[in-house]
Chains A and B, each alone.
Chain A
Amino acid sequence: MSNVLKLDDVVMRFGGVVAVNNLSLEVNKGSIVALIGPNGAGKTTAFNVITGVYMPTSGKVSFEGKDITKEQPHKIAKLGIARTFQNIRLFKKLTVMDNVLIAKHLHLKSGLFGTALHMPWAVKEEKKMREEAEALLEKVGLTAVKNEMASSLPYGQQRHLEIARALATSPQLLLLDEPAAGMNPQETMELTHFIKEIKDEFNITILMIEHHMDLVMEISDDIYVLDFGQLIAHGTPEQIQRNEKVIQAYLGVEEDA
């Protein structure tokens, strides 16, 4: 199987703190890969390195064989990596529809003046964008609220909208940063199905950070475990569940004090 994303010995240092230390990982095309580990293990930092928010101190990030270590975030998005955020970052005061349309801006073909002056070809493109956005909202079940302000949606729907917005950029690789954070077991179950569905529907690869172990174990093909910036384990869900180091650092021995 070919890999979509590959990290080679990535180090991210902030002053004296090593947030990510010699991280190497591979994400295979069409798979769901989970990145787990205790809080502060450097998972989100790894995401920020992949999406270009941080430039790693050393190491290499490649996407579909192309070196993207030094690319800017918006260029990486254009190449086909989309993400969601740990603490939801929607365009709060804009409508659900606008949130999705904004994510389609990066594929806009009409020029600035054609678009701004609503020239016939730009109007045509806008119409197509809207149709695609409508279809996407239909698929994720947000059609009923498409004209609502994003901030007015209940928490669960905001999470869905963030995923829909990421999907609107037509990515090959989707990074989900704790998509189930703050969700109850029922909602987490729904999300599990939802992630499976969109993976098949949009034919994408998913890399996610998640703390809900039932979700992770159910849908991941491959799991990487980080602790203090260090990769401590890598394997299938079964292997990880049996790994001594992981149990000690994260999955939990009975806590008594």
Chain B
Amino acid sequence: MNKRTKLLLNIAALVVVILFIIIANELFDSYIKRILNLCAIYTILGLSMNLVNGFTGLFSLGQAGFMAIGAYTVAIFTVPIEARSLIFYLKPMNAFLSGIHIPFVPALLLGGVIAALFAWLIGAPVLRLRGDYLAIATLGFSEIIRIVFTNAQTITNGALGIKNIPTISNLWWTWSIALLTIFFMILLIHSSYGRAFKAIREDEIAAEAMGIGLFKHKVISFMIGAFMAAIGGGLFAALLGTVDPKQFYFTLTYNFLLIIVLGGMGSISGTIISAFIVTGGLEWLRFLDEPMSIGGINIALFRPGLRMVVFSILLMIVVLFYRNGLMGQREITWEAIGEFFKKLRTRKTRNAKGGAKVE
């Protein structure tokens, strides 16, 4: 397959996605649109986690924390100034911050930059060590962020959270940013830096002996991952219109972990597919959390929390029987699709011939 065909196919795919967004914006109700928006946001977060965990081989569990930073940055700076005194009714907002209003896009980027800065702060001591120290440090960081946000009343409005964030109600924002993220990830992974990340994942000692500075490259990967997570968080805040610390409980990180484990550690297409499966699944399985009765008898099993039990079992099944997830480290490429159809066609003709012989 030559470059031009591929470019044409890519453009065709992009047009299909754009057409889908246009149609979805017109036809679907707000519930479905919200799920589709969430799918796009989870794709961004899944990719951010896969960059760090799947491609660079680091074990980070701080996604919820970085997401919270992005979400709160967008919330604090985009809420209309006149609405602020109403939101911060227990304690007034910090005098300096209360006068600053930033449009959505710069606020989103600012959140990303702040998260990347925090990533550098945690990474600088921890990423010098080998092993899984990062998992503990990032998990702790994510909890610290949540607790700080709960207590910094004049900045974050504490446990009450921030409401009245200008919302996005169509699919354009989330889907175009998700597409940009996907595009960026593909470029990054197929660059010399992407190869260096993969080398670190494969064998740290060999990578270092080949002149790849482990610390530098781990920090880069970790910071880019944090930036992307915060962008996802910012979109999340703008989608829901409200943020509060409880949303960013560390269990949120496990949703993204589920996405990358199910999709395949080190696969971009796997992450996208599984972001949709997991987000959709979490919505469609909501009936498990509600009381259910068959023939007038209330089944005690159906109560809040069952949904997460089912999801945990799903994760266990994946880990036990499908260790590499849906895609492993493979990607869906145009070549692979072409190959697939070619095989399908030859099999069909072979079957047809075989059938003829039997007769």
Q: Which residues of A contact B (CB under 8 A)?
A: 51, 53, 72-75, 77-78, 82-83, 85, 89-94, 98, 101-106, 108, 110, 112, 115-118, 122, 126, 129, 165-166, 169
**With A85-B206, A102-B199 as contacts: A118 and B213 at CB distance below 8 Å:** no
CB-nearest residue of chain B to A111: B193
> Which B residues are within 8 Å of any A CB, using their own CB?
184, 187-188, 191-196, 198-199, 202-203, 205-214, 220, 329
Closest B residue by C-beta to A115: B191
Residue with the highest number of chain B CB atoms closer than 10 Å, among A53, A92, A102: A102
Are A102 and B203 closer than 8 Å at their CB atoms? no
CB contacts (< 8 Å) of A126 on chain B: these are 191-192
Contact of B192 among A51, A101, A166 (CB under 8 A): A101
| B192 contacts A74, C-beta separation under 8 Å | no
Q: Which residues from chain B contact A106 at a C-beta distance below 8 Å?
A: 210-212
A91 and B209 alpha carbons, distance in the complex (Å): 12
Most chain A CB neighbours (cut-off 10 Å) among B194, B199, B202, B210: B210
**Do B211 and A115 have beta carbons less than 8 Å apart?**
no
Given A93-B202, A93-B329, is A102 in contact with B209 using a C-beta cutoff of 8 Å? no
CB-defined contacts of B205 to chain A, threshold 8 Å = 53, 85, 89
B193 touches A112 (CB 8 A): yes
CA distance A98 to B207 in the complex (A): 12
A94 to B205, CA, bound (A): 16
Besides A74-B208, A98-B198, 9 new A-B residue pairs in contact (Cβ under 8 A), listed by A number: A53-B205, A74-B211, A77-B208, A82-B209, A89-B206, A90-B203, A91-B202, A105-B199, A106-B212
Q: Within the complex, what minimum Cβ distance (angstroms) separates B189 from chain A?
A: 9
Within the complex, which residue of B184, B212, B214, B329 is in contact with A102, where a contact is CB–CB below 8 Å? B212
Say yes or no: B209 contacts A73, CB within 8 Å. Answer: yes
Instruction: For B206, list chain A residues within 8 Å (CB).
Output: 85, 89-91
Q: Give B216 Cβ to nearest chain A Cβ, in Å.
A: 8
Residues A102 and B195 in contact in the complex (CB < 8 Å), given A93-B202, A165-B210, A169-B211: yes
5 of the cross-chain contacts (CB-CB < 8 Å) are A74-B211, A92-B202, A92-B203, A116-B194, A122-B191
The interface residues of chain A lying within 8 Å CB-to-CB of B194 are 116
For A83, A85, A104, A112, the residue with the greatest tally of chain B CB atoms inside 10 Å of its CB is A112
Contact flag A108-B192 (CB < 8 Å), given A94-B198, A116-B184, A116-B187: yes
Q: Are A101 and B195 in contact (CB under 8 A)?
A: yes
**Which residues of the partner chain B approach A89 to less than 8 Å between Cβ atoms?**
203, 205-206, 209
The answer, among A78, A94, A117, for a CB contact under 8 Å with B211, is A78
**A94–B202 CA distance with the chains assembled, in angstroms:** 8
- The 9 A-B pairs with the shortest beta carbon distances in the complex, nearest first, are A106-B211, A77-B211, A91-B202, A89-B206, A73-B208, A102-B199, A116-B188, A74-B213, A103-B210
Which residues on the B side are within 8 Å of A165 (C-beta)?
210
